[in-house]
């Protein structure tokens, strides 16, 4: 059970996160904190029109949150916003343990996180970076050129630990 | 009544004390919840600093009260109400004795430590603080003894200042003196035992210095009352607060002790039934203390269970519980330091009198990952900032793992913790 969570690939991303570091001129920056556990990331994106040109992040957290955000950056850099949102949907399905999600090849390395779906109290960790991405895209869509430089701060207050309820969680997803 | 322990009395473990002064097997047998498996392992509960477990006698007392004696208190002209009132007021007396208070009417029942502190900040604080006044807290406070003072300072224009934490993780009393030197301090509010790192503060010394400077002294005793002998008169503090649920009692009940003349002078906290004397449409007169501060139907069963819990602790003898805590803390600190090269331990050194709360980090394994792994070994610990973000900032760490050992924990629990930490190292290839 634990072996399926703390896998080699996850530890590798935890210890050597990809795209960690601040971007020089992001078009949008989202700070996402989990006030319950103190995990926090600042996610920076440079979005040009419909394309995510660059992604970087800073912050700290557990292996699951750090590995998840690290893999996420790999999955969305150079892709369109629609492709990023599609990936997010697939990742949430993985966390919800939806049928077939663990076979979803489009998730690539992210599938290594599938064991987290069996640990309700840690799903929040895996979603921290994705919630930041989601807010960043929303902010970008509201003002494609506007948000430049200004950091948007969020507290991730989604009630999860006491029995991650896929049905209610689904509602507030895009 | 024995004198309260202080860090200055730093009594180290007597060499002959190779066994716990408590009969741990007998104590465990009184805690039904401990007799279970979690994830296929014996439950090893090391999270009592967050909330302790209850002995059967507390559970039985509450059931017995509801089974035989329940009615509303202080109002009935019938037998059950008389009995409920008697049991509720008896519980007040037990809590008062447990705290070394001179009189039962100095104990106000509240929901918790948090509510006790808010009661003082919202009544005494609003009535007595103003621009130019200072409330002194410390960098080691639980948020419960910090945020209420921030709120009242914002409302009254008073200022909040914090006693610094020394490098060896004690309160810097020289800094306290410097803060008191301004002459503007109206209240000093500190914990008695740190929930994050186990430091025991020299509360009698702080009380003396606060009073010399003309300030009152409030103690957050949430972590101390469960495991130290408390004597509010010997400490000579002005307010003392604690929660039932960390002291083997029910959740939803806590106590505020304050000197009678302070309680008399404080305006009421909430308005409603129980707390009044005579009510007219325009205005009312209030009941005498402590009822002035207990508006509405109180947590009667909670208070009665609380009374049973302090009786339970009293019967074990707080002095003996403290000796057990000191001993187990020392064993834990020494064992973990010996066994794990990559461990960082927080809090005072093992030979300093301290509580059985041990905070640590292990290699680069995040505390939440440690907690998850230990949980799968049946070991319940806490990971995070422990509601002490300023302290975490001071220690330069975002989160720690915290194992808190209480009166039902012994060496076998320590060994389970050690096994779990080895498992974590193995999974993380440390
Ligand atoms: C030192 C300290 N103060 C205050 C509190 C708050 O206690 P409660 O949540 O019971 O009000 C706690 C408990 O977490 C604590 O450890």
Q: State residue A156's pLDDT score.
A: 74
Residue A27 to residue B215: CA distance in whole angstroms: 52
B178 part of a folded domain: yes
A106-158 per-position pLDDT tens digit: 999 999 999 999 988 889 999 999 999 999 999 998 877 655 556 788 877 66
Q: Are residues B344 and B327 in the same domain?
A: yes
List the CATH number of the domain containing B184: 3.40.640.10
Q: Calculate the average pLDDT of chain B.
A: 94
Q: Would you call B126 exposed, middle or buried from its count of C-beta atoms within 10 A (0-12, 13-18, 19+)?
A: middle
User: By percentage, how much of chain B surpasses pLDDT 70?
Assistant: 96
The H or E element spanning position B241 is strand B239-243
Set of chain A residues whose Cβ sits within 8 Å of the Cβ of B369:
6, 62-64
B79-97 per-position pLDDT tens digit: 999 999 999 999 999 999 9
Contact B330, B13 (CB under 8 A): yes
Q: Are residues B148 and B196 in the same domain?
A: yes
B52 part of a folded domain: no
B118 lines ligand 1 (CB under 6 A): no
A122 vs B372: CB contact, 8 Å cut-off? yes
Q: Which string of b and e fits B334-369 if b means at least 16 CB within 10 Å? A: ebbeeebeebebbbbebebbbbbbbbbbbbebbbbb
B1 part of a folded domain: no
- When CB atoms are compared, the residue of B376, B384, B392 closest to A37 is B384
Token representation of residue A75: 């999955």
Asked if A6 is an interface residue toward chain B (Cβ–Cβ < 8 A), one would say: yes
Domain range holding B211? 58-315
Set of chain B residues whose Cβ sits within 8 Å of the Cβ of A155:
none
B117: pLDDT strictly greater than 60: yes
Q: Are residues B251 and B367 in the same domain?
A: no
B53 part of a folded domain: no
Asked if B376 is an interface residue toward chain A (Cβ–Cβ < 8 A), one would say: yes
A38: pLDDT strictly greater than 60: yes
B427 vs A2: CB contact, 8 Å cut-off? yes
As annotated, the active-site residues of B are 387
A38 vs B369: CB contact, 8 Å cut-off? no
Q: Are residues B154 and B192 in the same domain?
A: yes
**Domain end residue (candidates: B315, B333, B367):** B315
DSSP, residue by residue, A98-167: -TTGGG-GGGGGGGGGGGGGG-HHHHHHHHHHHHHHHHHHHHHHH-TTTTTTPEEEEE-----SSS--HH
Where does the pLDDT of residue B118 fall: very low under 50, low under 70, confident under 90, or very high at 90 and above? very high
B143-196 per-position pLDDT tens digit: 999 999 999 999 999 999 999 999 999 999 999 999 999 999 999 999 999 999
B267-286 per-position pLDDT tens digit: 999 999 888 888 999 999 99
B113 lines ligand 1 (CB under 6 A): yes
Here the ipTM equals: 0.85
What integer is the mean pLDDT of A41-65?
95
Q: State residue B13's pLDDT score.
A: 52
Q: Are residues B253 and B332 in the same domain?
A: no
B114 lines ligand 1 (CB under 6 A): yes
The residue whose CA is least distant from atom 15 of ligand 1 is B222
Q: Which residues in chain A (34-63) have CB-CB distances under 8 A to chain B?
A: 36-39, 60-63
Q: Are residues B86 and B11 in the same domain?
A: no
Q: Are residues B384 and B278 in the same domain?
A: no
Strands B134-138 and B185-191: parallel
Pick the atom of ligand 1 nearest to B50's CA. Answer: 14
What integer is the mean pLDDT of B404-418?
98
Q: Separation of B112 CA from ligand 1 center, angstroms?
A: 8
> What is Dmax (Cα atoms) for chain B?
72
Q: What's the pTM? A: 0.91
Asked if A115 is an interface residue toward chain B (Cβ–Cβ < 8 A), one would say: no
A6 vs B373: CB contact, 8 Å cut-off? yes
Q: State residue B224's pLDDT score.
A: 98
B64: pLDDT strictly greater than 70: yes
SS (H, E, C) B343-390: EEECCCCCCCCECCEEEEEECCECHHHHHHHHHCCCEECEEECCCCHH
The residue whose CA is least distant from atom 9 of ligand 1 is B114
List the CATH number of the domain containing B389: 3.90.1150.10
What integer is the mean pLDDT of B310-318?
98
Set of chain B residues whose Cβ sits within 8 Å of the Cβ of A12:
none
Q: Are residues B248 and B321 in the same domain?
A: no
Asked if A119 is an interface residue toward chain B (Cβ–Cβ < 8 A), one would say: yes
B376 vs A1: CB contact, 8 Å cut-off? yes
Q: Are residues B108 and B186 in the same domain?
A: yes
B1: pLDDT strictly greater than 70: no
Give A163's contacts (C-beta < 8 A, 6+ positions apart). Answer: A120
CA A95 to chain centre: 12
Asked if B428 is an interface residue toward chain A (Cβ–Cβ < 8 A), one would say: yes
B299 part of a folded domain: yes
Q: Which of B93, B117, B113 is nearest to B103 (CA)?
A: B93
**Domain end residue (candidates: B280, B315, B350):** B315
Where does the pLDDT of residue B366 fall: very low under 50, low under 70, confident under 90, or very high at 90 and above? very high
Set of chain B residues whose Cβ sits within 8 Å of the Cβ of A1:
376
Q: Are residues B151 and B235 in the same domain?
A: yes
Give A82→chain B minimum CA distance, Å: 33
B114 part of a folded domain: yes
**Domain end residue (candidates: B315, B339, B370):** B315
Contact B224, B25 (CB under 8 A): no
Q: Calculate the average pLDDT of chain A.
A: 86
Q: Roughly how many angstroms between the first and final C-alpha of chain A, as a whole number? A: 31
B112 lines ligand 1 (CB under 6 A): yes
Total domains present in chain B: 2
Where does the pLDDT of residue A162 fall: very low under 50, low under 70, confident under 90, or very high at 90 and above? very low
Asked if A4 is an interface residue toward chain B (Cβ–Cβ < 8 A), one would say: no
Residue B178 to residue B184: CA distance in whole angstroms: 11
- When CB atoms are compared, the residue of B369, B392, B427 closest to A62 is B369
B2 part of a folded domain: no
Q: Which string of b and e fits B58-87 if b means at least 16 CB within 10 Å? A: bbebbeebeeebbebbbeeeeeebebbbeb
- When CB atoms are compared, the residue of A3, A11, A62 closest to B368 is A62
B124 part of a folded domain: yes
Q: Are residues B38 and B141 in the same domain?
A: no
Contact B427, A3 (CB under 8 A): yes
Residues linked to residue B138 through DSSP beta bridges, in sequence order = B163
Give A46→chain B minimum CA distance, Å: 28
Residue for token digits 């002995």?
Answer: B55
Q: Are residues B206 and B293 in the same domain?
A: yes
Pick the atom of ligand 1 nearest to B111's CA. Answer: 11
Q: Separation of A124 CA from ligand 1 center, angstroms?
A: 25
Q: State residue B16's pLDDT score.
A: 42
What integer is the mean pLDDT of B287-297?
94
């Amino acid at each position: 059970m634990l072996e399926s969570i703390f896998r080699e690939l996850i530890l590798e991303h935890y210890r050597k996160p990809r795209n960690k570091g601040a971007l020089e001129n992001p078009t949008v920056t989202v700070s996402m904190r989990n006030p319950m556990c103190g995990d926090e990331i600042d996610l920076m994106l440079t979005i040009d029109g419909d394309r995510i040109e660059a992604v970087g992040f800073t912050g700290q957290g557990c292996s699951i949150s750090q590995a998840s955000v690290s893999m996420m950056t790999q999955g969305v850099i150079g892709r369109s916003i629609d492709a990023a949102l599609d990936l997010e949907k697939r990742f949430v399905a993985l966390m919800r343990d939806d049928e077939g999600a663990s076979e979803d090849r489009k998730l690539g390395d992210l599938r290594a996180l599938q064991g987290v779906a069996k640990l309700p109290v840690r799903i929040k960790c895996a979603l921290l970076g994705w919630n930041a991405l989601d807010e960043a895209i929303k902010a970008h869509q509201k003002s494609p050129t506007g948000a430049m430089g200004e950091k948007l701060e969020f507290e991730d207050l989604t009630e999860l630990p006491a029995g991650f309820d896929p049905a209610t969680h689904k509602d507030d997803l895009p | 009544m024995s004198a309260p322990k202080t860090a200055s009395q730093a009594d180290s473990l007597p060499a002959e004390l190779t066994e716990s002064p408590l009969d741990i097997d007998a104590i465990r047998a009184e805690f039904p919840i401990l007799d279970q498996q979690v994830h296929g392992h014996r439950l090893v509960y090391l999270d009592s600093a967050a909330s302790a477990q209850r002995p059967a006698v507390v559970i039985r007392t509450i059931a017995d009260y509801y089974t035989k004696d329940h009615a509303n208190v202080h109002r009935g002209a019938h037998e059950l109400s008389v009995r409920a009132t008697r049991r509720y007021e008896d519980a007040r007396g037990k809590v008062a004795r447990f705290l070394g208070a001179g009189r039962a009417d100095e104990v106000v029942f509240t929901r918790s430590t948090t509510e006790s502190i808010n009661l003082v900040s919202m009544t005494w604080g609003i009535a007595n603080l103003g621009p130019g006044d200072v409330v002194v807290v410390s960098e080691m406070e639980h948020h419960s003894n910090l945020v209420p003072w921030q709120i009242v300072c914002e409302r009254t224009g008073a200022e909040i200042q914090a006693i610094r934490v020394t490098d060896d993780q004690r309160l810097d009393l020289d800094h306290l003196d410097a803060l008191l030197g301004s002459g503007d301090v109206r209240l000093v509010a500190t914990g008695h035992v740190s929930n994050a790192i186990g430091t025991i503060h020299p509360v009698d010394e702080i009380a003396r210095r606060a009073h010399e400077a003309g300030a009152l002294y409030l103690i957050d005793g949430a972590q101390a009352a469960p495991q130290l002998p408390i004597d509010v008169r010997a400490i000579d503090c002005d307010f003392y607060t604690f929660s039932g649920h960390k002291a083997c009692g029910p959740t939803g009940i806590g106590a505020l002790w304050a000197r009678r003349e302070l309680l008399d002078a404080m305006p009421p906290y909430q308005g409603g039934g129980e707390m009044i004397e005579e009510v007219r449409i325009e205005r009312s007169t209030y009941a005498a203390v402590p009822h002035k501060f207990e508006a509405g139907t109180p947590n009667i069963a909670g208070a009665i269970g609380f009374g049973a819990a302090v009786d339970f602790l009293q019967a074990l003898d707080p002095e003996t519980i403290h000796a057990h805590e000191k001993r187990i803390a020392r064993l834990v600190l020494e064992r973990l330091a010996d066994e794990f090269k990559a461990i960082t331990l927080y809090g005072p050194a093992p030979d300093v009198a301290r509580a059985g709360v041990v905070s640590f980090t292990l290699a680069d394994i995040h505390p939440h990952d440690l907690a998850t792994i230990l949980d799968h070994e049946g070991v319940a610990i806490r990971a995070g900032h422990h509601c002490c973000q300023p302290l975490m900032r001071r220690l330069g760490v975002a989160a720690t793992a915290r194992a808190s050992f209480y009166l039902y924990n012994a060496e076998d629990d320590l060994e389970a913790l050690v096994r779990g930490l080895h498992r974590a190292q193995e999974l993380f290839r440390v």
